[in-house]
Amino acid sequence: MAAAVEESAPKRLKSDSCGGARGDDGDGETNGGPAVLSPVSGFKTERVLRDSAREKTVFVHGKMDEQEAVIILEKTPIRQDTLEDMLKASTLKLEMKNDIYSTYQLQAPPHLNEIKTTVICPATEKHVKKYLRQETFLIEESGDDYSAITLPYINSQSFSVQWVYNILEKKAEADRIVFEDPDPNVGFVLLPDFKWDQKQLDDLYLIAIAHRRDIKSLRDLTSDDLPLLKNIQKKGLEAIQKRYSIPPSKLRVYLHYQPSYYHLHVHFTSLDYEAPGCGVERAHLLSDVIQNLQADSHYYRSRTITFPLRADDALLLKFKEAGKL
Ligand code: M7G
C-alpha cells in the first residue's frame, strides 16, 4: 500500500503543434492549475512499443497533429489515504461467487482512478527506439574505446538536453524544484524525475542536475569533481530527508552509464523501489564513484566500463564495426 505525498496541483497544458504537449527541444512550461486540454485525445496509435501487465504500463508510438509522438500510460498505485473514499464511492460488478470467495470489477470514481501519462512530442526515432522492447547486449568499453567510438557517436547522435537547460534556467518545472544550490561549480538543482508522479513515497524518484555543463557523464569525472559530487550527495540527501522524511539509508543514489542525456545528473530513488535502470549493469552508486575517484583521479577515464545496449542502438553497430563485439 502506497504512503501518500502531499497533493500537488495538476498541470495546465499549453496548446502547440503537438496538441498541448512540449517536446524535448522546446521551451518548457511551469504552470499549475486544472488540466484544460487533452493533447492525447487526437493521438493516432501506430504501434505498441512495449507493455507490461505486471507494471501496468504501455508505451505507444503514434502521431499527434501529424507529428511523431510517444505516449507512456501507467496505472498509479492505490493510495492508503484515499482508500476509504474509493471503497465508499465505487460501484461493484460481481464476477463470481463461490463459498467465502467472490471477485468483482470495481469502478472507482475518476479522480481516484488516474493514469500517469507522459507525452513526448515531437518524438525522434531515438525516442521510439528507447522505449521499444529490445534484446540487449553487454558492451565492455575501455577508455580508448570511449575516445574512438563512443565520444564521436555521442557528439553526433545524443538526445537534446534542452529540457535540462530549461530546468537550470527556470524556464520549466521551476515550481517542482525541491532544492537548489546555485553555485556555478558545485551547485545543482534537485527535483522530481518525470517518472515519479509524487503521489506516494514508495516509488520516490528525484534527479539532481549539476549546474556545470561541461560534464557529459561518469567518463568525464576526475578527482577535481569530488567537491561537486560530495555536495550533491550531502545536500541532496539532506533536502530529501527534510522534505520527505526519508533517511539516507532508505535511498539509492546513483549515476547511469551510459546515460540517455549527456549532462551530469544523479538519480535518487527509494531503496524499496526497483527503478528502471537501477541494475548493476547500468547504475553506479554515487558513494562508490566518490571513493573510486578518491583512490584514483583517472579511474573513470581509464577503466573498462560495462553497460547494456539495445540490439538496434547505433552505438552497438559502431562497436560491432570496430570488431569489439
Ligand atoms: P538518464 O540516466 O540520462 O537516462 O536519466 P534514462 O532516461 O535512460 O534513465 C535521465 C533522467 O531524467 C531519467 O530518469 C528521466 O526519467 C528523467 N527525465 C527525462 N526528461 C526528458 C525529463 C524532464 O523533462 N523532466 C524531468 N523532471 N525529468 C526528466
pLDDT at position 98, please? 93
CA of 189 to the centre of ligand 1 (A): 14
> Which protein residue has the closest C-alpha to ligand 1 atom 4?
260
Cell of 90: 465505487
For the Cβ of 207 lying below 6 angstroms from any atom of ligand 1, the answer is yes
Neighbours of 280 (CB within 10 A): 8
CA of 100 to the centre of ligand 1 (A): 47
pLDDT at position 35, please? 57
pLDDT at position 5, please? 74
Number of the ligand 1 atom closest to the C-alpha atom of 205: 14
Residue-wise pLDDT for 295-316, tens only, equals 999 999 999 999 999 998 899 9
pLDDT at position 77, please? 87
pLDDT at position 12, please? 40
pLDDT at position 84, please? 94
pLDDT at position 34, please? 56
Euclidean distance between CA atoms 29 and 134, whole angstroms: 32
Q: Is residue 108 a contact partner of residue 89, using CB atoms and an 8 Å limit? A: yes
For the Cβ of 277 lying below 6 angstroms from any atom of ligand 1, the answer is yes
pLDDT at position 190, please? 98
Neighbours of 268 (CB within 10 A): 27
CA of 200 to the centre of ligand 1 (A): 19
CA of 109 to the centre of ligand 1 (A): 31
pTM: 0.85
Euclidean distance between CA atoms 303 and 141, whole angstroms: 8
For the Cβ of 299 lying below 6 angstroms from any atom of ligand 1, the answer is no
Cell of 294: 578518491
For the Cβ of 194 lying below 6 angstroms from any atom of ligand 1, the answer is yes
Euclidean distance between CA atoms 10 and 152, whole angstroms: 41
Number of the ligand 1 atom closest to the C-alpha atom of 195: 16
Diameter over CA atoms, the chain: 69
pLDDT at position 147, please? 97
Q: Is residue 302 a contact partner of residue 221, using CB atoms and an 8 Å limit? A: no
Euclidean distance between CA atoms 104 and 90, whole angstroms: 11
**Cα separations (Å) of 174 from 118, 167, 178, 179, 255?**
18, 7, 9, 11, 23
Catalytic residues: 265
For the Cβ of 256 lying below 6 angstroms from any atom of ligand 1, the answer is yes
Cell of 315: 552505438
Give the residue ranges of the chain where pLDDT is below 70: 1-4, 6-17, 19-37
Burial environment of residue 32 by CB neighbours within 10 A (0 to 12, 13 to 18, 19 or more):
exposed
Closest C-alpha among 217, 210, 211, 228 to residue 262: 217
Q: Is residue 200 a contact partner of residue 6, using CB atoms and an 8 Å limit? A: no
Cell of 208: 539532481
Query: What ranges make up the beta strands (E) of the chain?
Result: 44-52, 57-64, 67-75, 91-98, 101-107, 115-120, 136-141, 179-181, 188-192, 205-210, 251-256, 265-270, 283-285, 305-310
The residue type found at 66 is: E
Cell of 211: 549546474
Burial environment of residue 30 by CB neighbours within 10 A (0 to 12, 13 to 18, 19 or more):
middle
Number of the ligand 1 atom closest to the C-alpha atom of 277: 9
Cell of 308: 547494456
For the Cβ of 262 lying below 6 angstroms from any atom of ligand 1, the answer is no
3-class SS of residue 172: coil
pLDDT at position 17, please? 63
Pocket test for ligand 1, best of 166, 261, 309 (most atoms within 8 A of CB): 261
Peptide bond into 258 cis (omega under 30): yes
